[in-house]
Amino acid sequence: MHYISTRDANSTPAKFSDILLGGLAPDGGLYLPEEYPRISSETLDQWRSLLTEQGYAALAAEVLKLFIDDIPAADIEAIAARAYTFPKFSSEEIVPVTPLEDGLYIGHLSEGPTAAFKDMAMQLLGEFFEYELARRGETLNILGATSGDTGSAAEYAMRGRTGITVFMLTPAGRMTPFQQAQMFGLDDPNIFNIALDGVFDDCQDVVKAVSADADFKADKRIGAVNSINWARLMAQVVYYISSYLKITDSNEQKVSFCVPTGNFGDICAGHVAKQMGLPIDRLIVATNENDVLDEFFRTGDYRVRSSADTFETSSPSMDISRASNFERFIFDLLGRDANRVADLFGTQVKQGGFSLVDDPAFAQAASEYGFCSGRSTHADRVETIRDCYSRLGVVLDPHTADGVKVAREWAKEVDSPIVCLETALPVKFADTIREATGKDPEVPERFRGIMEAERHVVDLPNDAEVVKRFIAENIAGAAQS
């Protein structure tokens, strides 16, 4: 299994271990498998039994082996077994799937230590990083950006690990109090929280700018945990497969997935699973008011927004107007034309976006790849939360409510059951839950007292050079600690 860049398909193919620690390709592109592995009906039958008899970690190991051939199989199995354990995940199933109403299910991805779907990939990434660094005798300084949940999931996955330091950028004042408490309450010597004056896209731009400085990146051993890192998407493919297996009893059946998304990472994993041969019908993109992706799938125009034009909403993890992982899908949609992708994302996106309205390939987004989309507003999510609570006794977080709202709109258009992938537990978004239900969300026992912890965060300007200086100054201090 080899990996290539979305912007240079003719570059020397890399192995999994080579791309694990780096994130972006040297040319600024994103890594994808040279070819997607294919899964047969017989393999799905075997995995159905494996999931039932041995559980999620065993299934994860088998899926991971399809993408990794430079780590011994036994080590992959051990890594998956350490990543997906109970009670680190509060359900022994790791990813339960439960019915919400006729034809609509919830895939519960928030059973991990930070109550967000990001734990599904981050816990695995932490194990892989520590394993590979030990194997190489090296260290890694992780630079990431978060709009809400990536940061806490990464920090909880990496805290205390040997040879790893984390620098996490957040948009100042743009996360909920619970999300801030989860991150800023950590006092581990290898964790640094940085609040930038801007929105998530600004934080993401700084990460890319630092990564684009090849000398600094190499000298300071900068790595990535954001969804630009292929290993995260690879991990997320597993729960599409497990969810499919849980609600079907025959491989002749198809399942659709509705995914709340802003950065296109979570649903990009669904795209990969579909290309592998998982019987997925539709991949339904659900956005909030920051509807760049919905606009593209409806019109063919990918029109990125400025920071000033990015709305601050009650589903803040989706307050994103430049979807990094979208490049991976467009690479496939355009027949893996790396030169064209380099122009679209390396040049045109920086100038405001691009249009595929007149490109014959655009029609294939729906016809061949199964994508469709919808949009939700604050009023929509409040009403969806209220309805699910009062009528079904289920409390949804605002992002998952965006997904359920859009899934309900598409339910009458598709013939398959729809699994809406959960984003987080409601406890992270108390104000919106209180507005919708009149009650505070339940606080799981493992999070009691989190709001009282002392905060540890540094405010910095939205400036890549300032961030680089901060990283350089603190790497040595973290190592000495």
Question: Which residues participate in catalysis according to the annotation?
Answer: 118
Of 125, 121, 118, 120, which is closest to residue 142 (Cα–Cα)? 125
What is the DSSP track for 174-226?
-S-HHHHHHHHT---TTEEEEEESS-HHHHHHHHHHHHH-HHHHHHTTEE--S
What is the DSSP track for 219-269?
HTTEE--STTSHHHHHHHHHHHHHHHHHH-SSTT--EEEEEE-SSSHHHHH
Which of the 8 DSSP states describes residue 373?
A: E
Q: Under DSSP, is residue 346 helix (H, G, I), strand (E, B) or coil?
A: helix
**C-alpha pair distances (Å), 215 with each of 23, 98, 221, 241:** 15, 49, 10, 40
Say if strands 3-5 and 371-375 run parallel, antiparallel, or are unpaired.
unpaired
Rounded to 10 deg, the angle between the 200-212 and 464-480 helix axes is 70
The residue with tokens 């995995």 is 47
3-state helix, strand, coil in the chain (%, to 5): 50, 15, 35
Helices (H) and strands (E) in the chain, counts: 19, 15
Question: Would you say the C-alpha torsion 303, 306, 309, 310 has a positive or negative sign?
Answer: positive
Burial of 391 (0-12, 13-18, 19+ CB in 10 A): exposed
CB atoms within 10 A of CB 274: 22
Which residue type occupies 316? P
Which of the 8 DSSP states describes residue 300?
A: S
Which phi and psi angles does 365 have, rounded to 5°?
Answer: -55, -40
End-to-end Cα distance, the chain = 38
Residues 47, 50, 56, 59: what is their CA dihedral angle, to the nearest 10 degrees? -50
Residues near 477 by Cβ (< 8 Å), separated by ≥ 6?
none
Give the residues across from 458 on adjacent strands. Answer: 194
Which of the 8 DSSP states describes residue 382?
A: H
Rounded to 10 deg, the angle between the 56-67 and 41-54 helix axes is 140
Residues near 28 by Cβ (< 8 Å), separated by ≥ 6?
7, 208, 212, 342, 346
